[in-house]
Amino acid sequence: MSLTRTRTGTLLATPAILYMLVFFIVPSLILFAYSFWSSASYRIVPDFQFNNYLGSLASPVFWKVTFNAIRIGLFTATVTLILSILVGYYLVYVSRSQTILYLILITWFSSYLVRIYAWRTLLGTNGVLNTVLLQLGVIDHPVSAFLFSPFAVTITLVHIYLPFCILLVVSSLSEIKRDLIDAARDLGTSLIGAFFKVIAPNAANGLIGAFMLTFILVAGDYVTPQMLGGSSGQTTGLLIADQFRKTGNWPLGAAQAFLMFGISIVLYAFITALGRATGLIVKRRAKTEREI
Amino acid sequence: MTNPKTIIDIRDGKKVFGSFTALTDINLSIRQGEILTLLGPSGCGKTTLMRLIAGFETLTSGTISIDGNDCAGTPPERRPVNMVFQRYALFPHLDVFENVAFGLKVKGLPRSEVKERVNRMLNIVQLDNFANRYIDEISGGQSQRVALARALVNGPKVLLLDEPLAALDLKIRQHMLAEMKRIHAETGATFVYVTHDQDEAMILSDRVVLMEKGRIVQIDRPEDMYARPKSLFAAKFLGETNLFDATVSAVNGIGTTAVTTAGTPFLGAETEDRHVSERIIVSIRPESLSFQGGEAAQSAEGTVEDVVFIGSRSFYTVRLDDQSPVRIQVQRNGHLALPSVGDRTRIYWDSANVIMLPHA
């Protein structure tokens, strides 16, 4: 007896589907249900009310930390994407070497926390940066502002998420043959022009995907901002985590998690619209629109 | 046309990649309006030479000038040449019209002029009705025309074509060759055409540049290159031929006589630069041999070993009495009786068709 193609396909996908169902979709739905419940003196009460959402939306603290998370996220994702495109271009079109890609990925073999502490050491008052600047005479006493600043948070987050973003960018650039870039240049564009006119439109989905995934990971990262950001380290991720860990207000945490989710979707839609408006994303006209 | 102008001039060109010398001693003048073919086996450097002209590579030493201007350091986007890529390299996110319009839009020409020039070019390549199709909605032959139009619409001083027909099947290829000639005549552009296919080179070219291992081995009109190859490589690469190791036995006013290792003498018409006991290679094309000969013809006896019919022609393999096999091509002609396998026969040739080549 032989299986048909569709049945084989379904069979192969089943473990993944089951996994996603049990460990992602069902918990998400439970969390969504929680977000309408209420909490009274550390006890969660089944309910159906919108106070968690309305309260968060009305809270200046929520907006402040959300704005902070989005700012760190957008800034870090932008820097990471630009660096990834440069490295990706080099890897795909210039060196064509797998070794360099592996070397980049090897930084992932070190623990996340180790990397954060490494940056603390580098940027601290007795750190490498201060020592070098002191020796060079650029500064006359150690600068404490390197650490516990948005700068420290960004540089660390870029370092942590760069390999991930490079991997995504490399895979989307690999789809675009070198010939297309040569053709664009042959037809009169500079290399930068070829990027915007040919590479970006053809890699738009991959590049936006890389940007958004980096953004989401960074905006949701509450460890780095907390450990390196000082007073600027308050982000939505930390706020949400605290609802679960400290205040025990799970319904409020759940609601804020879904608000953050909604904000990410709005941002994604906005960035896609921006891409369309600037011509970086080209939407194909449907066949019917083109009939003469 | 008297003394056509040189449009591209390459002097002492050399290109080295790491430890590999891709091109060396390249001296080539490309004339305005001609179809020049760079012909050679893969790895001979023909594509590198084209990419040097386009500006995608830079010479290690030597000069390239286009229309009198040395273009060292000029990036591809500022060279007055355009290229048709082997796999077309059409932009998948744009439709046919936008693909062709790409170069003109980059130059910032007014919309009306872009539209007019693109439409005129689409008309020349006969794709008027396909302007709104996307690249994955057209056939290979049509993609080829789009690639031609996209390059030619910019009015390049030289059009570079990198094995443009390699991706097409045989029937479309023959049709596109004719199309290419028509488009060349209509636009008057200079074509530099890279191919490894000798038939394409013969059909299309005004001149052929034969390349081997990074060097130019011969530049000639296709018929001259075929009739008078200057090297063993040229004789073997263009068309089919019979080759014999031979030693020169006499040089006089009539010509040069060389005796093959197996013992058959060949009298060639050439007299220059040959001396007695020089080792050479005798080449004679299958169509230069026949089963009938006049008074002046040379001849040898042998036995027919094999016959292959190809429509109007037949290919015979005859083993000469000195044991060397010879290929003969004859036109089928109802009036003449042709030998069959196993028959004893005599084959004839004229001294004008005996080509003597230096020993490789």
**Domain residues of chain A, as ranges?**
60-277
Q: Do B199 and B251 fall into the same domain?
A: no
Number of domains in chain B: 2
Residue of B nearest to A202 (CA): B93
A187 and B77: CB-CB below 8 Å?
yes
CATH number at residue B34: 3.40.50.300
The answer to whether the CB of B272 falls within 8 A of the CB of B328 is no
- Split at pLDDT 50, 70, 90, the class of A140 is confident
Chain B residues with a Cβ under 8 Å from any Cβ in chain A: 54, 56, 75-78, 81-83, 85-87, 89-95, 102-103, 106-107, 132-134, 150-151, 154
Give the integer Cα–Cα distance in Å for A64 and A79. 22
Tens of pLDDT along B85-100?
988 999 999 999 999 9
Q: Do B173 and B248 fall into the same domain?
A: no
Alpha helices in B74-214 (DSSP H): 96-106, 111-124, 140-152, 170-187, 198-204
Residue of B nearest to A279 (CA): B93
Q: Do B125 and B50 fall into the same domain?
A: yes
Q: Do B289 and B192 fall into the same domain?
A: no
Assess whether pLDDT exceeds 50 at residue B152: yes
Q: What pLDDT score does B188 carry?
A: 87
Q: What is the pTM of this model?
A: 0.83
3-state secondary structure chain A: CCCCHHHHHHHHHHHHHHHHHHHHHHHHHHHHHHCCCEEECCEEECCCCCHHHHHHHHCHHHHHHHHHHHHHHHHHHHHHHHHHHHHHHHHHHHHCCHHHHHHHHHHHHCCHHHHHHHHHHHHCCCCHHHHHHHHHCCCCCCCHHHCCCHHHHHHHHHHHHHHHHHHHHHHHHCCCCHHHHHHHHHCCCCHHHHHHHHHHHHHHHHHHHHHHHHHHHHHHCCHHHHHHCHHHHCCHHHHHHHHHHCCCCHHHHHHHHHHHHHHHHHHHHHHHHHHHHCCCCCCCCCHHHHCC
Q: Do B38 and B175 fall into the same domain?
A: yes
Assess whether pLDDT exceeds 70 at residue A1: no
The answer to whether the CB of A125 falls within 8 A of the CB of A142 is yes
Assess whether pLDDT exceeds 50 at residue B115: yes
Q: Is residue B1 included in any domain, yes or no?
A: no
Q: Do B210 and B267 fall into the same domain?
A: no
Q: What pLDDT score does B64 carry?
A: 96
Q: Could you list the residue range(s) of the whole structural domain that residue B131 is in?
A: 6-235
Q: Is residue B354 included in any domain, yes or no?
A: yes
Q: Is residue B33 included in any domain, yes or no?
A: yes
- Split at pLDDT 50, 70, 90, the class of A3 is low
Nearest-10 Cα torsion for A26, A31, A32, A38: 140
| Average pLDDT along chain A | 88
Q: Do B88 and B169 fall into the same domain?
A: yes
B77 and A188: CB-CB below 8 Å?
yes
Nearest-10 Cα torsion for B146, B151, B154, B156: -150
Residues of chain A positioned with their CB less than 8 A from the CB of B87: 177, 179
What DSSP designation does B170 have?
A: H
The answer to whether the CB of A269 falls within 8 A of the CB of A252 is no
Assess whether pLDDT exceeds 70 at residue A289: no
Q: What pLDDT score does A98 carry?
A: 84
> What is the helix, strand, coil percentage profile of chain B, to 5?
30, 35, 35
Q: What pLDDT score does A39 carry?
A: 84
The answer to whether the CB of A203 falls within 8 A of the CB of A281 is no
Last residue of a domain, one of B216, B235, B254: B235
- Split at pLDDT 50, 70, 90, the class of A109 is confident
Least confident stretch, A11-15, A141-145, B134-138, B146-150: A141-145
Residue A178 to chain B, least CA–CA distance (Å): 9
Assess whether pLDDT exceeds 80 at residue A241: yes
Between A149 and A30, whose confidence is greater? A30
CB within 8 A of A288, min separation 6: which ones?
Answer: none
Q: What pLDDT score does A228 carry?
A: 87
Kindly write down the DSSP assignment for every residue of B16-27, as one continuous string. EETTEEEEEEEE
Give the integer Cα–Cα distance in Å for A174 and A220. 29
- Split at pLDDT 50, 70, 90, the class of A100 is confident
Tens of pLDDT along A7-43?
888 889 999 999 999 999 999 999 999 999 988 877 8
Q: Is residue B54 included in any domain, yes or no?
A: yes
Residue A142: HSE in the Cβ half-sphere, 13 Å Cα cutoff:
12
Assess whether pLDDT exceeds 90 at residue B49: yes
Residue A41 to chain B, least CA–CA distance (Å): 58
Position B328, amino acid: I
**A-interface mutation test, from B71, B74, B77, most A Cβ less than 10 A away:** B77
Question: Measured between CB atoms, which of A177, A201, A284 is closest to B89?
Answer: A177
Tens of pLDDT along B185-197?
988 899 999 999 9
Which residues partner with B258 through β-bridges? B248, B266
Reduce the DSSP state of residue B283 to 3 states and report it: strand
B150 and A184: CB-CB below 8 Å?
no
Q: What pLDDT score does A96 carry?
A: 78
- Split at pLDDT 50, 70, 90, the class of B176 is confident
A187 and B134: CB-CB below 8 Å?
no
Question: Measured between CB atoms, which of A183, A201, A290 is closest to B89?
Answer: A183
Q: Measuring CA to CA, which residue among B7, B47, B49, B52 is closest to residue B29?
A: B7
Question: Measured between CB atoms, which of A189, A282, A290 is closest to B77?
Answer: A189
**B-interface mutation test, from A178, A187, A281, most B Cβ less than 10 A away:** A187
The CA-to-CA distance between both ends of chain A, in Å, stands at 51
Question: Measured between CB atoms, which of B75, B95, B103 is closest to A187?
Answer: B103
A188 and B103: CB-CB below 8 Å?
yes
Q: Do B211 and B247 fall into the same domain?
A: no
Question: Measured between CB atoms, which of A179, A189, A282 is closest to B89?
Answer: A179
Q: Do B101 and B19 fall into the same domain?
A: yes
Q: Do B169 and B251 fall into the same domain?
A: no
Tens of pLDDT along B202-261?
999 999 999 999 999 999 999 999 999 999 999 999 989 999 999 999 888 888 999 999
Q: Do B84 and B127 fall into the same domain?
A: yes
- Split at pLDDT 50, 70, 90, the class of B70 is very high
B154 and A188: CB-CB below 8 Å?
yes
Q: What pLDDT score does B287 carry?
A: 93
What DSSP designation does B32 have?
A: T
Last residue of a domain, one of B208, B235, B262: B235
B76 and A180: CB-CB below 8 Å?
no
- Split at pLDDT 50, 70, 90, the class of A292 is very low
Question: Measured between CB atoms, which of B91, B95, B151 is closest to A180?
Answer: B91
Give the integer Cα–Cα distance in Å for A253 and A245. 10
Q: Do B230 and B261 fall into the same domain?
A: no
Residue A69: exposure state from Cβ atoms within 10 A (0-12, 13-18, ≥19): buried
Residues of chain A positioned with their CB less than 8 A from the CB of B89: 177, 179-180, 182-183
Which residues partner with B303 through β-bridges? B319, B344
CATH number belonging to domain A60-277: 1.10.3720.10
